[in-house]
A and B are shown apart, each in its own frame.
Chain A
Amino acid sequence: MPVNEEFKPTIVAFCCNWCSYAGADLSGTNRLQYPANVKIIRIPCSCRLNPMFVLRAFQRGADGVILCGCHPGDCHYTTGNYYARRRMTLLFSMLDFLGIERERTRVEWVSAAEGAKFAATMNDFSATIHKLGPNRRLEDLRCRKD
């Protein structure tokens, strides 16, 4: 589709400092490619992700939001990712209710050793968003760039 070819999605990836951010670094060290429209924001732990941040991202025109944290049981703060998992389950179903497709949001566990998984996840997620097309649901027109 010609429309989709021009479409450059904005994807925000929140990564916990201890595992996933390190995993993202590792995929860099190993020169594993993923699309440039994925932009990473470092947070101390996946449990730092306030649902507000996700809403804000969608309001400002993000097309997809992904949260990466340590594998269950491996959180640097022991239990943070369990909180994150529950909160995101709730948030995502609410977003779904608001018309933001489930595929636009994702939680993925990536360890510091899983550079390849990080790149694969981002490739996959970005392809999914590409297929879905731009997010128009929560986007605040007043925040439009153009």
Chain B
Amino acid sequence: MQRVGVFVCWCGSNIAATVDVEKVAEVLAKEPGVVFSTNYQYMCSQAGQEMIQESIAKYNLTGVVICSCSPRMHENTFRKTCEKAGLNPYMVEIANIREQCSWIHKDKETATEKAVILGRAAIAKVHLNAPLTSGTSPVKKRALVIGGGIAGIQTALDIADAGFDVDIVEKEPTIGGKMTQIDKTFPTLDCAACILTPKMVDAAQNEKIHIYSYSEVSSVKGFVGNFKVTIKKKARYVDETKCTGCGLCTEKCPQKKVPNAFNLGLDNRRAIYIPFAQAVPKVATIDADYCTMLKSGKCGVCSKVCTAGAIDYTQKDAFIEQEYGAIVVATGFNPIKLDQYDEFAYSQSPDVVTSLEFERLMNAAGPTGGTLLRPSDGQHPHTIVFVQCVGSRCDDSKGKPYCSKICCMYTAKHAMLCREKYPDTDVYVFYIDVRTPGKNFDEFYRRAVEEYGVHYVKGMVGKVVPENGKLKVQASDLIGNQQLHIDADMVVLAAAIEPDKSARPLATMLTASMDTNDFFTEAHPKLRPVESPTAGIFLSGACQGPKDIPETVAQASAAAAKVIGLLNKDHLVCNPCTAQPDELMCNGCSSCEKVCPYGAITYVDKEFRGPNRTTLLRRVAQVNPAVCQGCGACTVACPSGAMDLKGFSNKQIMAEVDAICR
């Protein structure tokens, strides 16, 4: 039995107005083991805390019960208070008599009665508390960034700047992400490549940054400060250390009919390729699906022309193991597939394009060299119709329920650029709403309308029908209250954006949570926006929700700041409320191991004393306290009841039940 001190807080009038605090302290004083009981106006104040500390010394208290606000509020405060007075911090229990009592009840008598019962439960529990000590675990001073878009690059640069090693794992042959495909960027209209490629080069040249391109994360083990990650370096059949990026092979390869993924299939490339001129790393990659040499063993042209001898047809996937203290997810987004949107004739006419394809058609490094030409006949389009919200803000299963956020702005950008380059074109934009919050964003949109004469029409396009080389667009004009029929040369669809498909399996590997749309969820939507609820996993960029570049970069730097804060520590304090098996009861059945979401449980063979001076070798469970997060799943799964959770033990919870039902 402990020597318990009870401290009832008034919380000004928050508690005292509905709970008779004096009476609570009085009644609880009669509980078994209570040697001191008092009440005070503000227990969490300096004076209140000092009173607790003095009482601990004076009455030689071994357990403390504080009847106050929610433990989510001040449990830590009071633990620290008691620790300073020489009491183990885990000998403190809080009875929540504010949020769960005084604030929800009006009648003083009932509230007081309930406060007493809650206090009793806490006293019953504290009698069974045991001193716990938090262990520490070392922090591996290296960070992993998954995804090498602008988000990943910015995060890596910032972490490296603080002096820590960072690895970027990028699944494509080059880093850069979606921004490499964009032509000009709103709201300033500076060229994307001009601002992005210097950063890519910075990342490549930074001594602290290592880029694993054409690679994926294949397994993640461990926990905050100590992640063990296996990176799969996919075979690119080119020796990265030898390839100089001269590009000769990409010109000589006889396999010319490979759809160019970088240009979204608007033109073709060879089977060996460098995605674009400023790729980082600038190393060729062989597309195994198309390479004749790899498929039939006949060809070998690239190997013959390569003066550096970099081609290696026998290359295999390589697996690299590395340890990290923190992991940043920066897997970005993709526009949704539009196959299901038959009404816009996307699959029927090459002149119906997505906005990202349109970026390539406008880009000086794109398939048309920056001249806007129709994909079907290479003619200059005179009438262009932009359709916004294709698949965004949709109730049906085809689309996404959310607003993709960036489409209003990039469509205004596209419309403006068309009118600027080709003043003879007629440009229509169909919209549901124009949403342009952001610094200089609305001004930008208004410029498109007022200065550039873009026709903004509120309404949705109902149907696009390809006919005689034209696209017949039927649409409604909600403000003019009329049906419009436009003969367009091109239609551009602002497709909704969604998280990368690889994000879901990655989230499972990382035990990071996702929302129903597969965007990563943050630890707190307002106060912890760049951390995932799983300790040591951070979020950067569009993988967490639709974002434009300024927002992406801001979040990327914020994530880096959090990572730096973590890596700066030498040790992390672990939660001591972890599972603990009773080895005498454990029979090594593996039930607990199966339900543990963290892989914290392993088995060892241990010697036990058997009857008649024999020794028995028995398999028993062991919990790694640094890995265990203390959920308690194993305690219930254990058929022999050998597993218990420190701080929330079976006996403690049962004592609370008893006290409440008494």
Interface residues of A (CB under 8 A from B): 10, 12, 21-22, 24-29, 31-34, 36, 39-45, 47-53, 56-57, 60-62, 73-74, 76-80, 83, 87, 119, 143, 145
Contacts and interface: CB of A to CB of B under 8 A. Distances in A.
B632 A27 contact: no
Nearest to A15: B100
B96 A40 contact: yes
B121 A39 contact: yes
30 contacts: A10-B661, A27-B99, A27-B104, A28-B98, A28-B103, A31-B103, A36-B101, A36-B104, A36-B110, A36-B111, A36-B114, A39-B114, A39-B660, A40-B100, A41-B660, A43-B632, A44-B630, A44-B631, A44-B632, A44-B645, A45-B631, A45-B633, A47-B632, A53-B653, A57-B661, A76-B533, A77-B629, A79-B597, A80-B631, A80-B633
B521 to A, nearest CB: 8
Contact of A12 (B105, B516, B660): B660
Given A39-B118, A44-B631, A74-B513, A87 B636 contact: yes
Nearest to B634: A47
Given A25-B72, A42-B71, A51 B636 contact: yes
B273 to A, nearest CB: 40
Contacts of B632: 43-45, 47-48, 80
A43 B648 contact: yes
B657 interface: yes
Interface in B311-345: none
B106 interface: yes
B657 A53 contact: yes
Contacts of A31: 103-104
Contacts of A53: 650, 653-654, 657
A111 B114 CA distance: 24
Size range of the interface on B?
35 or more
B653 to A, nearest CB: 6
B185 interface: no
Interface string B633-662: 101110000000100101001101110111
B113 interface: yes
B577 interface: yes
Given A42-B71, A76-B533, A76-B631, A56 B657 contact: yes
Interface in B380-417: none
Nearest to A27: B104
A56 B659 CA distance: 11
Enumerate the 7 nearest inter-chain pairs by beta-carbon distance, A residue then B residue, closest first: A28-B99, A48-B632, A60-B661, A77-B631, A28-B103, A47-B633, A25-B99
Given A24-B99, A53-B654, A83-B636, A62 B597 contact: no
Nearest to B575: A44
B513 A22 contact: no
A48 B533 CA distance: 19
B494 interface: no
Contacts of A24: 99-100
Contacts of A61: 661
Nearest to A17: B72
Residue from the set B514, B650, B657, B662 with the largest chain A CB neighbour count within 10 Å = B657
Contact of B631 (A47, A51, A119): A47
Contacts of A47: 595, 631-633, 636
Contact of B653 (A39, A41, A77, A145): A41
B117 interface: yes
Contact of B70 (A25, A73, A79): A25
Nearest to A10: B661
B106 A52 contact: no
A123 B303 CA distance: 76
A37 to B, nearest CB: 8
Contact of B635 (A21, A50, A76, A79): A50
Contacts of B533: 76
A73 B128 CA distance: 33
A60 B511 contact: no
Contacts of A32: 104
A62 B535 CA distance: 38
Given A29-B99, A48-B648, A83 B633 contact: yes
Nearest to B106: A33
A36 B113 contact: yes
A80 B511 CA distance: 12
Interface in B293-312: none
A80 to B, nearest CB: 5
Contacts of B96: 25, 40
A24 B595 CA distance: 28
Contacts of A34: 104
A28 B629 contact: no
Contacts of B577: 44
A48 B657 contact: no
Contacts of A42: 71
Given A44-B648, A80-B631, A52 B100 contact: no
Nearest to B110: A36
Contacts of B98: 28
Contacts of A83: 595, 633, 636-637
A42 B105 CA distance: 20
Contacts of A43: 632, 648, 653
Contacts of A40: 96, 100
A55 to B, nearest CB: 10
Interface string B91-123: 000001011110111110011011001100100
A29 B657 contact: no
Residue from the set A32, A42, A57, A61 with the largest chain B CB neighbour count within 10 Å = A42
